[in-house]
Amino acid sequence: MSLAAVYRLALRAAELVGVLLMVSIGVFSLVTLLPGDPAVDILGAGHPPSAYADLRHELGLDQPLLTRYFDWLGGVLHGDLGRSVVPPQSEVASRVLSALPVSVEIAVLGLLSALVVAVPLAMWSAYREGGRADRIISAGTFGVLSVPSFLAGLLLVLVMVTSLGWFPRSEWVRLGDGDLLGNLHHAFLPALTVALAELAMFTRVLRGDLIVTLREEYILAARAKGMAPLRILVSDALRPSSFSLVTLLGLSLGRLIGSTVIVEYLFALPGMGSLVVNAANQGDYPMVQGAVLVIAAIYVVINAGIDFSYGYLDPRTRRVHV
């Protein structure tokens, strides 16, 4: 590895650590500065003052803000995200580790399904720009984008669950149970709900970039030499046209892990979205802090990986200017 590559890697790592530190400050501050008294939210009204004082001491709320932050950060660095204060009390890390695989699986399955369909659709549409196929694909993707996720999920439930009975509505089989087919059977509809909107976005973004690339001189030269259209699209045009798609893919993955609340509610999934919403409604502040921190950290790390991938997609981005 060259010195420039080592320097670039070290610089990116330092930036990543700095961003994660700022994320931890933001997560802790936002939850801490919420109006109201956490002790009252947790216990409810009507308890003696001593009960509220004891709970504030247990949560560390009687300590200065900086002291509480560094105590919390020290625990996070050692893998301790705190303990839930709402019955049944449990470790935040264990609850997150139980919910995270569900959200990650739904997000990954949905994005992979969308990607597998979107790439050939976008290539076909871009190569036939202005033609009948292009107009049909563009109209179809626009129509899909016009349908909110909750409505698409309800329609899928109505058709495939209620009418046809092909899929379950409110059950979940974990991968760890050893039943892969059962897991995929339960994950299909939630993943499809996620995939529909992402499919339309991926197709439209990649189509636009491919149209620009197909007008480049080296593509026109390849066509003049009689190269096969499929080879031109896959070998010459797809890779340099993937910047926006890769960025959108990473952003979508990070976003979907924590924002599939509606999908998880529709299909009763025990994922991260449901965990955060339920914890916030119950006033379980340690749970909210730990879960949001994990989601934010995943989002930041994914985007750092996207930055590194640019060097593969376009070697010109590997240059380091000092």
pLDDT above 50 for 110: yes
> How far apart, in Å, are the Cα atoms of 192 and each of 53, 136, 159, 245, 316?
49, 21, 13, 19, 37
What is the tens place of the pLDDT at every residue in 21-36? 888 888 888 766 666 6
User: In what helix (H) or strand (E) does residue 138 lie, and over which residues does it extend?
Assistant: helix 132-145
On whether residue 145 sits in a domain, the answer given is: yes
User: In what helix (H) or strand (E) does residue 187 lie, and over which residues does it extend?
Assistant: helix 180-213
Closest CA to 110 of 272, 296, 263, 295: 263
On whether residue 147 sits in a domain, the answer given is: yes
> How far apart, in Å, are the Cα atoms of 181 and each of 116, 171, 230, 269?
20, 14, 34, 17
CA 52 to chain centre: 37
What is the pLDDT at residue 35? 63
CB atoms within 10 A of CB 166: 11
Contacts of 150 (CB under 8 A, 6+ apart): 262, 266
On whether residue 68 sits in a domain, the answer given is: no
Number of independent structural domains in the chain: 1
Q: How far is 168 from 150, CA to CA, in rounded Å?
A: 17
pLDDT above 80 for 5: no
On whether residue 277 sits in a domain, the answer given is: yes
On whether residue 219 sits in a domain, the answer given is: yes
On whether residue 304 sits in a domain, the answer given is: no
On whether residue 105 sits in a domain, the answer given is: yes
Phi, psi (rounded to 5 degrees) for 192: -65, -40
List the domain range (segments joined by +) for residue 184. 99-283
On whether residue 233 sits in a domain, the answer given is: yes
Phi, psi (rounded to 5 degrees) for 271: -100, -170
Residue 208 is part of a domain; what is its CATH number? 1.10.3720.10
* DSSP state at residue 91: B
Contacts of 322 (CB under 8 A, 6+ apart): 7
| pLDDT category of residue 320 using cuts at 50, 70 and 90 | very low
What is the pLDDT at residue 160? 82
What is the tens place of the pLDDT at every residue in 163-185? 887 887 777 777 766 678 888 88
What is the tens place of the pLDDT at every residue in 137-167? 888 888 888 887 778 888 888 888 888 878 8
∠ at Cα 261 (257, 264), nearest 5°?
Answer: 90
